[in-house]
Amino acid sequence: MLNGKRVLLIVAGGIAAFKCHDLIRKLRGQGAHVRCVLTDAGARFVTPLSLQALSEDKVYTDMFSLTDESEMGHIQLSRDADLLVVAPATANILARMAAGMADDLAATVLLATDKPVLAAPAMNVRMWSHAATVANVETLKKRGITFVGPNDGAMACNEYGPGRMSEPAEIVTAIEALLTTSSALKGKRALVTSGPTREAIDPVRYISNHSSGKQGHAIASALARLGADVTLVSGPVNVADPVGVKLVKIESADQMLEACLAAGKLDVAIFAAAVADWKSAKPADAKIKKKPGAPPPALELTPNPDILATVSKPGAQRPTLVVGFAAETENLVANAIDKRTRKGCDWIVANDVSPATGTFGGERNTVHLVTADGVEEWPTLAKDEVAARLADRIAQQLGRPRAVKAAE
């Protein structure tokens, strides 16, 4: 999908710099040409030789190279690329970008560029949440800098929280979103739901499930790459926000339904979220206390709203195409066929979420597409590949040409 695209990768000084080796491999595997700028601090974690071996191109480090700068190399580097990627984007380099500094080659290239810039932040959780970093990120976003991540996770400093650099696969997906947009779904309005819902039992406990949101977020990204105007309604997840979509964050099924109905007239709606079937009938206002010797409290459940069935009802506001998901642990296809009929939707994407499959939280998925014409069995694919194939099928169904035919 990135065949012939030129990426200038700026590697700054953070422990996450080691992920850049895999990022370069993945980009080159997609057909991209990668050239690297390595900061002095970045060279404390990875070497110019390792980046050069993987990119098969010269690595640039010196602002005052006589050979490079005799041809105004910092300007040429900034203009030759289709996209500049800063990974890891440390607190230091984000601050220098926001201030417009040009005190080394990386900062100068970023100041001189007229091309899109993607930043993948990586830093300690306290540094990421510091008011200075928050202000710098907001400034850069207003200038058109795109961000991927950071994710929540364990860090080298033995702390846990937001600040962990996105995984190379996530960064590649963000790069694709910036460089491979097409017009296959231009003018179409899409809604995607993703992740789990959380149904409060009391202020500190809730009912939920293991959905990671990876598949739903990948679908939102794939639709955006085809030019759709995408609204993503997401429960709590630890994956990076997709590039180029409107994100609405919710907690409960009631909130998700409200957000879906507020999306207005749609061409396609895809319900990939794992919505809790039940909620507490009477959530407690205060934490339910455990009393020694007393039996556990009874939990009275009541059904959640059926979001898929509600949106699938005939009427003027019904989307042209409604796609549901069926996460099953047994009788996969039979249950999916039954669900499509009961809910009134057009398609069902069925997947086996048994623990042995690793689908929940994993990187790959095996799905069956159930339509009025029958059942399509798809091979096991990476979740972003499932998303791209589904987006392509949606474009066909809505009467648009196939996406990026030349890349197949």
Residue 112 CA: distances (Å) to CA of 75, 97, 317 = 6, 11, 48
Which of 55-59, 114-118, 203-207, 379-383 is most confident?
203-207
Q: Rounded distance, CA 84 to CA 112, Å?
A: 11
| pTM of this structure | 0.64
- Give how far the C-alpha of residue 74 lies from the chain's centroid of Cα atoms, to the nearest Å: 31
Give the residue numbers annotated as catalytic, written as ranges: 157
> 231-240, 326-335, 338-347: which range is least confident on average?
326-335
List the CATH code of the domain at 189-407.
3.40.50.10300
Q: In 2-69, where do the E strands start and end? A: 6-11, 33-38, 59-60
Percent of the chain having pLDDT more than 70? Answer: 91
For the chain, the domains span 6-179, 189-407
The pLDDT of residue 62 is 82
CA–CA–CA angle 359, 360, 361 (5° rounding): 105
Return d(Cα 152, Cα 167) in angstroms, integer: 11
Which pLDDT score is estimated for 181? 66
* C-beta separation of 140 from 116 below 8 A: no
72: pLDDT strictly greater than 60: no
Mean pLDDT (whole number) for 325-351:
92
Question: What residues does 229 pair with on adjacent strands?
Answer: 189
Mean pLDDT of the chain: 88
- Read off the pLDDT of each residue in 150-154 and give the average, rounded to a whole number: 78
pLDDT at 403: 42
pLDDT on residue 368 = 93
Report residue 405's pLDDT band, with 50, 70 and 90 as the boundaries.
Answer: very low
- Tell me, what's the pLDDT at 406? 36
* pLDDT digits 0-9 by tens, 83-94: 999 999 999 999
The 10s digit of each residue's pLDDT in 284-324 is 999 999 888 889 888 999 999 999 999 999 998 999 999 99
Same fold, 6-179 and 189-407: yes
Name the range with the highest mean pLDDT among 58-67, 168-177, 355-364: 168-177
Q: Do 200 and 54 touch, CB atoms closer than 8 A?
A: no
> pLDDT tens-digit profile of 214-227?
999 999 988 988 88
Q: Are 184 and 402 in contact (CB under 8 A)?
A: yes
Please compute the mean of the pLDDT values over residues 4-27 and round it to a whole number.
93
> Cα separation of 82 and 86, whole Å?
14
Q: Is 143 helix (H, G, I), strand (E, B) or coil?
A: coil
Q: Which fold has domain 6-179?
A: Rossmann fold (3.40.50)
β-strand 6-11 against 83-89: which pairing, if any?
parallel
**156-170, 314-328, 350-364, 379-393: range with lowest mean pLDDT:** 350-364
Q: Write out pLDDT tens, residues 172-208.
A: 888 887 887 677 898 999 999 999 999 999 999 999 9
